[in-house]
Amino acid sequence: MENSKKVIFSGIQPSGNLTIGNYFGALKNWVKLQDKYDCYFCVVDLHAITVRQEPKDLRRRTLEVLAIYLAAGIDPEKNTIFIQSHVPTHSEAAWLLNCFTYVGELERMTQYKSKSKKYEDGNGSVSAGLLNYPVLMAADILLYNADLVPVGKDQTQHIELTRDIAERFNNAYSPTFTLPEGYIPEGGAKIMDLQDPTKKMSKSSSNPNSYVLIMDSPEVIRRKINRCVTDSVGVVKYTDSQPGVKNLINILGAVTGMSCEDIEAKYEGKGYAEFKNDVAEALIKELSPIQDKVNELLQNKKYLEEIYKKGAEKAYYVSSKILRKMQKKIGFIPVSR
Ligand code: AMP
Ligand code: TRP
């Protein structure tokens, strides 16, 4: 029965605290997919170390991301939830796939170009990990023969590369991998930076006022929304010429399910103060129960351990089969273990 369901793989890096962009753009949609698909949701800690991480922060955030997955409603009974570094097949497959990927392809990735520029400006060195990152992502996806990969627009280039690598391998030997497709679920909102609404809200921004974190307290949420950049038009209208207001409408719509038209109508003739206040209160109402649940889960490390252990076992079982296929086709000598 399970095998007839399409497979979904996705992951979030524990490289920063998760924002409402991750929540509305990823997590909230994942929850809706869990009944229809066979889903693998991974905390991609191997990806996070492509830039330097403080060990104790990485440990804390990895568990927190896992707890947020659960608190957001991802059911560990229905899905495979795991931590990437617990499943060694990912690193192994990434090496093999590296040998089917061209340096030129990797250098062409937009994310690599922008991230490497950022680090060049700092202390001069860009890790090979940053360049190879999309190959690890390809391994994540191909090891489960995922059909669909729900991600934001910024990741579509990496998925195209995954398809190219998979096709190259399939052509060199014989059909091995499913060619995955990016999947942007309906209603998947793109949440913009609160200080510069032409940019995507990102957990790696250096200015904390530019994002709301899933774990931000009510006071902090009120302050950040209150101070967010809007415009001097003074009308709540869903238009590209008012990107700050448009973003707040998207946020309010994502929380309440109201359409843009309903929101425009509700705030007709009213100022931004009342609108912002309502956005903040709606966010607080949505996030408070999740925060309580996350805090409760983080108190119960044994329970979290049970979940990530079980997830890793299942992920290892499934991915090993594909890894063994790859090794065999490449010409490695099999050994029974
Ligand atoms: P990242 O934070 O870049 O690791 O992204 C993890 C997931 O959250 C990806 O699927 C992203 O597309 C999604 N995501 C991150 N930031 C946003 C945002 N501002 N709006 C919508 N989705 C986002
Ligand atoms: N690169 C993705 C991001 O930064 C995270 C990620 C890693 C991922 N491996 C993946 C997403 C596999 C989907 C599938 O958002």
- How does pLDDT run along the chain (337 residues), one tens digit per residue? 456 899 999 999 999 899 999 999 899 989 999 999 999 999 999 999 998 899 999 999 999 999 999 999 999 999 999 999 999 999 999 999 999 999 999 999 999 998 888 766 556 678 899 999 999 999 999 999 999 999 887 899 999 999 999 999 999 999 999 999 999 766 667 899 999 999 999 988 899 999 999 999 999 999 999 999 999 999 999 999 999 999 999 999 999 999 999 999 999 999 999 999 999 999 999 999 999 999 999 999 999 999 999 999 999 999 999 999 999 999 999 887 7
pLDDT given for residue 122 in this prediction: 59
The 10s digit of each residue's pLDDT in 223-241 is 999 999 999 999 999 999 9
pLDDT given for residue 104 in this prediction: 97
pLDDT given for residue 203 in this prediction: 87
- Give me the architecture of the 2-184+300-330 domain, per CATH: 3-Layer(aba) Sandwich (3.40)
Residue from 8, 9, 12 whose mutation best tests the ligand 1 pocket (most atoms within 8 A of CB): 12
**What's the order of all strands across the beta sheet hosting 80-83?**
80-83, 38-43, 7-12, 148-150, 181-183
Residue 155 Cβ inside 6 Å of ligand 2? The answer reads yes
> In which residue ranges of the chain is CATH 3.40.50.620 found?
2-184+300-330
Residue 47 Cβ inside 6 Å of ligand 1? The answer reads no
d(CA 40, CA 319): 11
Residue 25 Cβ inside 6 Å of ligand 1? The answer reads yes
The answer for residues whose C-beta is within 8 angstroms of residue 274's C-beta and 6 or more apart is 267
Give the nearest ligand 2 atom to 111 CA.
4
pLDDT given for residue 108 in this prediction: 97
d(CA 232, CA 82): 47
d(CA 61, CA 69): 12
> In which residue ranges of the chain is CATH 1.10.240.10 found?
208-295
pLDDT given for residue 185 in this prediction: 67
CA nearest 141: which of 113, 160, 128?
160
Neighbours of 232 (CB within 10 A): 6
* 80 neighbors 144 (Cβ within 8 angstroms): no
pLDDT given for residue 124 in this prediction: 64
CA nearest 138: which of 110, 193, 99?
99
pLDDT given for residue 154 in this prediction: 82
pLDDT given for residue 150 in this prediction: 93
Q: What type of residue is 228?
A: C
pLDDT given for residue 190 in this prediction: 86
Residue 141 Cβ inside 6 Å of ligand 2? The answer reads yes
CA nearest 9: which of 140, 166, 187, 184?
140
217 CA → ligand 1 middle, Å: 21
Class of domain 208-295: mainly alpha
Residue 143 Cβ inside 6 Å of ligand 2? The answer reads no
* 16 neighbors 172 (Cβ within 8 angstroms): no
90 CA → ligand 2 middle, Å: 13
235 CA → ligand 2 middle, Å: 38
pLDDT given for residue 1 in this prediction: 47
Across the chain, the runs of DSSP E, i.e. the strands, are 7-12, 38-43, 80-83, 148-150, 181-183
d(CA 197, CA 250): 12
138 CA → ligand 2 middle, Å: 9
pLDDT given for residue 126 in this prediction: 86
